[in-house]
Amino acid sequence: MNSKSRYLAYPYSIWMLVFILFPLFLIFLYSITLRNPNDIKTITFTFENFGKFFDPIYVNVLIRSISIAALSTGICLIVGYPVAYLLTRAKDKHKGLMILLFILPMWMNMLLRTYAWMTILGNTGLINSFLNLLNLPNVNLLYNNKAVILGMVYNFLPFMVFPIYTALNKMDRSLIEAADDLGADGFTIFKRVIFPLSLPGVISGIVMVFMPAVSTFVIPRLLGGGKNVLIGNLIEKLFLVTRDWNFGAALSMIILIIIFISIKILNILKIDKESGVSI
C-alpha cells in the first residue's frame, strides 16, 4: 500500500472509533460497574451484573431467544436456498426483475413491514375477516411465538437469499456439467457439488439472519405482544423503562459473546476462505 492511499482509510477508521468502538467500550464499562445514584464520581467495578443474569428467569429468556432465532434461521435457510437457486437459474432478462421484487419490501421501514403483518394476522385483520365472511370461527394468529417467527422469517429472508445466491452464482457451470458427465444424476450433483460449493454462502446467510434475529426487539414486541419476552425486549426495557443500564449492558455483552462464538464455530465449517463473513 502506498502512503497516499492509506489516508483513504482514515474517515472510516475515525467513524469506527467514534461510533462503534467507543460506544462498545462504554457498554463494556457499564456492564462491569455499579450505579451509585448518590455519587457519580466514584466508579465501583463489579461482576454483579453478570451474576444477576444467572437467575433462571433471565437464562430462560436467553434460551427462548436463541431457540426462536435458530428456528427462524432454519426456516429462512429451507425457504431461501431454493429461492437463491432459482434466481441463479433464471434467464438474465428475468433475473433483474426477480431480484428487484425480492428487495422491494426492504426499501420500506422494518417497523412498517411488521405492522403490516399485524393488520393481516390480527383479530379483526385480513385473515379473520375473511374467515368471518365464511362464517368460520376466529383464529388467534397474533401475539404468539409463531407470529414472531413468521415476522423474523419475513424480515430477514433476503439476508439468507443473497449470500447463497452470490455463492451459487459465482460457481462455474462447467463443474455441474463435469459431474453430470461423470455419471451423477441431478440429486447427486446437488449433494456432492452444488451444495458443498455454496456452503460459504449458506454460512454467511446463517450469520446474517441469526444475528439480528437473536437481538431484535421490534418483532417480538409487535407480533409477540410482549407476552413472551425475548432478550432484545429485556435489554430494551432495562435501558428505557427500568433504567438499569448496567444490567442491560451486561446482557448486551452476553449476546455479543454468544454471536461471536457462533460465528467462530461456523467459520470452522467454512471451506472457502475467500468469501463470506469472517471474524
Partner 1 sequence: MKESIIEISSIVKKYDDVKVLNEISFNVYKNEFVTLLGPSGCGKTTTLRIIGGFEAANEGKVLFEGKEINHLPPYKRQINTVFQNYALFPHMNVYENIAFGLKIKKLKDQIIENKVRKILKLVGLENFESRDIDSLSGGQQQRIAIARALVNEPKVLLLDEPLGALDLKLRKDMQVELKNIQKSLGITFIYVTHDQEEALTMSDRIIVMKSGSIQQVGSPINIYNEPINSFVADFIGESNIISGVMKDDYQVSFLGKTFECVDYGFKKMENVHIVIRPEDIDIVKKDSGLINGEVKSVIFKGVHYEINVLAKNFEFLIQSTKSSKIGNYVGLDFNPDDLHVMREMHYE
Our finding on whether 274 is near partner 1 (CB under 8 A) is: no
Which part of the chain contacts partner 1 (CB under 8 A), choosing from 8-16, 26-34, 174-182, 214-222? 174-182
Task: Indicate the residue among 110 and 176 with the shorter CB distance to partner 1.
Answer: 176
Question: With binding defined as CB under 8 A, does residue 97 bind partner 1?
Answer: no
227-236 residues labelled b (16+ CB within 10 A) or e (exposed): ebbbbbbbbb
Of the residues 69, 153, 179, 207, which one makes contact with partner 1 according to CB under 8 A: 179
CA distance 28 to 14: 20
Q: Which one, 271 or 279, has the nearer CB to partner 1?
A: 271
With CB under 8 A as the contact rule, the residue among 44, 126, 139, 192 that binds partner 1 is 192
Distance of CA 265 to the CA centre of its chain: 16
Contacting residues for 144 by C-beta, under 8 A, at least 6 apart: 224, 225, 227, 228
Q: How many CA atoms within 13 Å lie on the side-chain side of 79?
A: 17
Which position among 23, 51, 82, 196 is part of the footprint of partner 1 (CB under 8 A)? 196
Choices 9-17, 111-119, 184-192, 206-214; region in contact with partner 1 by CB under 8 A: 184-192
Nearer to partner 1, 167 or 238 (CB): 167
Helix, coil or strand: residue 44: strand
Q: Is 181 in the site for partner 1 (CB under 8 A)?
A: yes
* Helix axes 110-121 and 126-133, enclosed angle (nearest 10): 20
In whole angstroms, what is the distance from residue 113 CA to residue 155 CA? 8
Q: b vs e for 121-159, b when ≥16 Cβ sit within 10 Å of the residue's Cβ? A: bbeebeebeeeeeeeeeeeebbbbbebbbbbbbbbbbbb
Site for partner 1 in 144-173 (CB under 8 A): 172
Stretch touching partner 1 by CB under 8 A, among 36-44, 76-84, 139-147, 189-197: 189-197
Residues 232-271, interacting with partner 1 (CB under 8 A): 271
> First-to-last CA distance in the chain?
22
Which lies closer to partner 1 via its Cβ, residue 137 or residue 183? 183
Q: Which residues bind partner 1 (CB under 8 A)?
A: 172, 174-175, 177-185, 188, 192-193, 196-197, 271-272
